[in-house]
Amino acid sequence: MNKDLVSTIADLNEQEALKIVKDRLSAGEDPLKIMEDARKGLEIVGERFASSEYFIPDLVYSGEIMKLITELVKPQLTREEETRKSGKIVFGTVRGDIHDIGKNIVTFMLDVNGFEVIDLGVDVPEQKFVDKIKESGASIVGLSGFLTLAFDSMKQTIRAIEDAGLRDSVKVMIGGGQISEEIRKYTGADAYGKDAMAGVTLAKKWTGVN
Amino acid sequence: MSEFTINFEPLGLRGKCKNNESLLECARRSGVGINSICGGTGACHACRVQVLSGTVSRPSTVEYKVFTSKELKEGWRLACQTYPISDCKITVPADSMTTSQRLQVEGLEKKVSPELPFQVYHVKIAPPSLETPVADADRLIQALNNQHRLRCTSVDIDTLRDIPGQLRSWNWESQVVVRNKEVVTILYQKSRQLGLAIDLGTTKIAAYLIDMNSGQTLAARGIMNPQINYGEDIISRINKVIKSSEAAVVMQRLTLDAINELSADLCAAAGARPEEILETVVVGNTAMHHLFLRLPVKQLAFSPFVPAVSLALEVRARDLGLNIAPGAYVYLMPNIAGFVGADHVSMLLATDAWKAKETTIALDIGTNTEVSLIYGGKITTTSCASGPAFEGGHIKHGMRAAAGAIERLRIDGDKVQYQTINGGPPVGICGSGILDALAQLYQANIIDNSGRIIDSHPRVRVHKGQREFVLVSEEERNGKPAITITQHDVRELQLAKAAIRTGIQILLDISLCSEDDIKQVIIAGAFGSYINIDSAVAIGMMPSLPLNRFQQVGNAAGMGARLALISTRSRAKAQAIASRVKYVELASSPEFNKVFVQANYLGPYQITNK
């Protein structure tokens, strides 16, 4: 039965998935367990996306299914359970760049995998990243940029984090467009992810979540 | 044994047709490329031609099905089913021509009456003497005043250096070229007056040598833009310039060398000399424009994406290093905004789209696709990053349109019928073939509307962990690797298709205009001229409109450059167009993500209310 929810979500079967959730809730099952299965289903969606089997619209659709499931399960969760997240991540598209489709995919996948994502949007100035890191106490920063020119903004953002004395308290990942190991070195980031799943893997590694 | 002469229009090629030979076979032997996907069996209907005069065999049963009785009366036939019985004159429509042939007839021809940016005066002056020891140039200027009532105020310095020698060797008789009261050049009395129009594309440079007085194109040629070594797209080139100012100098040099070489070649072909070129017009996107002039580009690539200049410019050719007549000028058409540059203005000018009374979409498909919507007297324009997929880039077996590329394709049950450029064995697939493949796979339900390859067709297989559709198998290629469309290829194509469709859709949305309101769609550019509109509509890249609302116009940007070259009135229009256009930055539209996600689906675009 548990496997059913995982696979129906993985197969993007909205009606079936919602029915299973309702049945399991009325059977009095632990809501956290249901959410965990839903996350597993979305993880498979993410894997299928990474292998080109699924595409952007599929991912967006899976997000909509997840939203509906959350709405069903949420009333059953205690406040503490609801906010139990694996770690805080400040994320944004760097200054000068306004592309956010890639960034939205990563933040979605991170959210699904239990991270609390603070999304600063696009064309984000260096200082805004610094302020948000201070304010939230996030331990991970994600810098996104599609334009090759965004690499300079990434470098400047990381320098600003360093100047604010925060560099040692955060891990920085970069992604988007044609990022490589050379560019990671150039910007001074800790790591780069070539797709959304790579970003999730990094975040899990850094926070010690399995 | 009887033999007939067949005249193939508009190519103007003639061929001898043997007895019992079909028009298609005769065309092939005569070097006329007519599409034939099925190999002449009457199955594909790709070889439509029109018989203008002469007697041919009666229509076959197939042809009665394909054509209406009206069409048959007008002489429409399938070349593979038609056998001449007398000398004939045949029209091969652009749709039925293979790619290599279409390059030669490409571009819409348009006439404007020349209104030149300079005037040419025939002047004969008296030799100097001890009684009137007046300077050579001064006597020339006096003569212009006396003989033509023209007050010139200056003489170009290089021209000045030539004047004493030339006037003496030409026996004091010459043609004087005057531009804005300046003597820019003097010419031998029998010299021609030529102009050079350049379409400076990111990938290709097209050059046209024009007779300034008749507007006639004397020679035309296209080459690859040598800047490609600095990156395939404009962003990577701009990035190189930001990293090193030397790159800006080198890239400008590369383009100029290429243009100088092109102009020398064109002049050689027309029996002329580059010094007879009295004016040059250059159109390109904003990045190409800036790199050509070595203007700063950094601000162009960062939000809010502003050019250094949008106004039209006139620059002395010598200052750029362009080898044409001494003192002659280069006119640069105005840019719009962002990356939408003079080439789009040029296209709007050449196609008259800018003054269309009916709702019109005009677009130029390339690595960057510019789209304009003309609606209710307003022009809105945007630029979409469609990427190189339709030029064969990032596609596993993709290639540019060259010999051996699959350019047309049809899936018929378990079989794939295709046609290659030049008819040889297939080596890869080019843009128009890639588009056909996507449409055919979708229509045959081999991929679903989300673009996923479904494992239900004998030609679908898994290769290295990825599904792919086999177009030409290893066996069919005698052991060479199969030519396939992979799941990843489909994704790349979806992104390209979605980018273009998002551009169109956002413009429609902000103008509160619906798809059905569009009365004409003008598609310019090399790729856009060769594609099957059917396929583009089937996958939803183009709006779902009747096919007769689409026009494929070839290199309209190059055409606009030619108009601006010989007509100052066209230049004024270009400036008016550029200042009327309202530019929309796609990614900053609040609806962008929603529309883009929706546009990723294959099939007609569905308006969502979510």
For A153-186, write each residue's pLDDT tens digit: 999 999 999 999 999 999 999 998 778 888 899 9
Is the minimum CB–CB distance between B601 and chain A shorter than 8 Å?
A: yes
Q: Do A194 and A162 form a contact (C-beta atoms < 8 A)?
A: no
| Residue A210 banded pLDDT, cuts 50, 70, 90 | low
Closest CA to B330 of B278, B259, B253, B288: B278
**Chain A residues contacting B, CB < 8 Å?**
51-58, 60, 95-101, 104, 122-123, 147-149, 152
Phi, psi of A28 (to 5 degrees): 80, 25
Does residue B437 register a pLDDT over 60? yes
How far apart, in Å, are the Cα atoms of B142 and each of A138, B165, B173, B248? 81, 19, 14, 44
Q: Do A120 and A210 form a contact (C-beta atoms < 8 A)?
A: no
CB contact under 8 A, A148 and B593: no
Phi, psi of B576 (to 5 degrees): -65, -40
Chain A: residue whose CA lies nearest to B238 = A149
**What confidence score (pLDDT) does residue A101 get?**
80
The arithmetic mean of pLDDT across residues B248-261, rounded, is 95
The arithmetic mean of pLDDT across residues A1-30, rounded, is 89
> Between residues B448 and B236, which one has the greater pLDDT?
B448
| Cβ-based neighbours of A97, under 8 Å, separated by 6 or more | A122, A123, A144, A145, A146, A147, A149, A150, A153, B302, B303
Is the minimum CB–CB distance between B294 and chain A shorter than 8 Å?
A: no
**What confidence score (pLDDT) does residue A149 get?**
75
**B283 beta partners:** B199
Does residue B103 register a pLDDT over 50? no
B378 is written with which tokens? Answer: 């307003």
The closest CB to that of A52, out of B238, B488, B585, belongs to B488
Per DSSP, B333 falls in state: P
How many Cα atoms are found within 13 Å in the side-chain-facing hemisphere of B445? Answer: 2
Closest CA to A105 of A8, A198, A3, A30: A198
**What confidence score (pLDDT) does residue B1 get?**
56
CB under 8 A, 24+ apart: contacts of B236-239: B236/A148, B237/B287, B237/B291, B238/A149, B238/B287, B238/B297, B238/B298, B238/B300, B238/B301, B239/A148, B239/A149, B239/B301
Phi, psi of B596 (to 5 degrees): -65, -45
Cα–Cα distance for residue pair B316/B318, rounded to 1 Å: 5
CB contact under 8 A, A55 and B491: yes
Q: Do B431 and B461 form a contact (C-beta atoms < 8 A)?
A: no
Does residue B41 register a pLDDT over 90? no
> Between residues A159 and A70, which one has the greater pLDDT?
A159
The arithmetic mean of pLDDT across residues B435-459, rounded, is 95
Closest CA to B98 of B529, B427, B420, B551: B420
- Name the architecture of domain B119-187: Roll (3.10)
CB contact under 8 A, A149 and B303: no
Cα–Cα distance for residue pair B598/B449, rounded to 1 Å: 11
Q: Do B370 and B610 form a contact (C-beta atoms < 8 A)?
A: no
The arithmetic mean of pLDDT across residues B220-237, rounded, is 84
Cα–Cα distance for residue pair B507/B511, rounded to 1 Å: 6
Shortest Cα distance, chain A CAs vs residue B503, angstroms? 15
Question: Where do runs of H (alpha helix) occur along chain A?
Answer: 2-10, 14-26, 31-50, 56-73, 79-82, 101-112, 126-136, 150-163, 181-187, 196-207
Highest mean pLDDT among A106-110, B45-49, B55-59: B55-59
The closest CB to that of B451, out of A55, A95, A96, belongs to A55
Mean pLDDT of all residues in chain A? 88
Does residue A208 register a pLDDT over 50? yes
Does residue A122 register a pLDDT over 80? yes
| Residue B306 banded pLDDT, cuts 50, 70, 90 | very high
Is the minimum CB–CB distance between B487 and chain A shorter than 8 Å?
A: yes
B195-332: what fold? Nucleotidyltransferase; domain 5 (3.30.420)
Has the ipTM of the complex gone over 0.90?
A: no
Highest mean pLDDT among B183-192, B227-236, B287-296: B287-296
**What confidence score (pLDDT) does residue B610 get?**
42
CB contact under 8 A, B585 and A55: no
Cis previous bond, B10, omega within 30: yes
Is the minimum CB–CB distance between B320 and chain A shorter than 8 Å?
A: no
Shortest Cα distance, chain A CAs vs residue B587, angstroms? 6
Q: pLDDT per residue over B558-591, tens digit each?
A: 999 999 999 999 999 999 999 999 999 887 888 8
| Residue B390 banded pLDDT, cuts 50, 70, 90 | confident
The arithmetic mean of pLDDT across residues B281-294, rounded, is 96
Is the minimum CB–CB distance between B502 and chain A shorter than 8 Å?
A: no
Q: pLDDT per residue over B508-566, tens digit each?
A: 999 999 999 999 999 998 788 888 999 999 999 999 999 999 998 888 999 999 999 99
- Name the architecture of domain A88-207: 3-Layer(aba) Sandwich (3.40)
Mean pLDDT of all residues in chain B? 91
Q: Do B183 and B177 form a contact (C-beta atoms < 8 A)?
A: yes
Q: Residue B466 in 3-state DSSP?
A: strand
A2-82: what fold? 1.10.1240
**What confidence score (pLDDT) does residue B105 get?**
34
**What confidence score (pLDDT) does residue B101 get?**
47
Determine which of A68, A147, A156, A195 to mutate to test the interface with B (most B C-beta atoms within 10 Å): A147
Cα–Cα distance for residue pair B18/B505, rounded to 1 Å: 53
**What confidence score (pLDDT) does residue B608 get?**
64
**B567 beta partners:** B115
Cα–Cα distance for residue pair B424/B70, rounded to 1 Å: 36
| Residue A151 banded pLDDT, cuts 50, 70, 90 | confident
**What confidence score (pLDDT) does residue B595 get?**
93
What residue spans in chain A does CATH classification 1.10.1240.10 cover?
2-82
Q: Do B294 and B308 form a contact (C-beta atoms < 8 A)?
A: no
**Which DSSP string do the residues of B204-231 spell out, in sequence order?**
EEEEEEEETTT--EEEEEEEE-GGGGG-
> Between residues A144 and B44, which one has the greater pLDDT?
A144
Domains B3-97 and B119-187 share a fold: yes
The arithmetic mean of pLDDT across residues B127-150, rounded, is 94
Cα–Cα distance for residue pair A186/B166, rounded to 1 Å: 59
A87 is written with which tokens? Answer: 């770690």
Residue that the structure tokens 């469609």 belong to: B386
Shortest Cα distance, chain A CAs vs residue B144, angstroms? 55
**DSSP H or E segment with residue A149:** none
Regarding beta strands B173-179 and B154-155, do their DSSP bridges make them parallel or antiparallel, or are they unpaired? Answer: unpaired
Chain A: residue whose CA lies nearest to B453 = A53
Domain covering B3-97 in this structure, CATH number = 3.10.20.30
Residue that the structure tokens 């673009």 belong to: B451
CB contact under 8 A, A52 and B491: yes
Does residue B110 register a pLDDT over 70? no
**What confidence score (pLDDT) does residue B50 get?**
92
**What confidence score (pLDDT) does residue A3 get?**
59
The arithmetic mean of pLDDT across residues A105-113, rounded, is 84
Q: Do B522 and B371 form a contact (C-beta atoms < 8 A)?
A: no
Does residue B104 register a pLDDT over 50? no
Does residue A86 register a pLDDT over 90? no
Residue that the structure tokens 């190991």 belong to: A181
**What confidence score (pLDDT) does residue B607 get?**
75
B residues 574-593 closer than 8 Å to A (CB): 585, 587-588, 593
Does residue B337 register a pLDDT over 70? yes
**DSSP H or E segment with residue B262:** helix B245-270
Chain B: residue whose CA lies nearest to A50 = B488
**What confidence score (pLDDT) does residue B20 get?**
85
Domain locations in chain B as residue ranges: 3-97, 119-187, 195-332, 356-560+578-610
The closest CB to that of A98, out of B242, B303, B596, belongs to B303
CB contact under 8 A, A98 and B600: no
Does residue A117 register a pLDDT over 60? yes
**What confidence score (pLDDT) does residue B92 get?**
85
Is the minimum CB–CB distance between B596 and chain A shorter than 8 Å?
A: yes
What residue spans in chain A does CATH classification 3.40.50.280 cover?
88-207
Does residue B102 register a pLDDT over 80? no
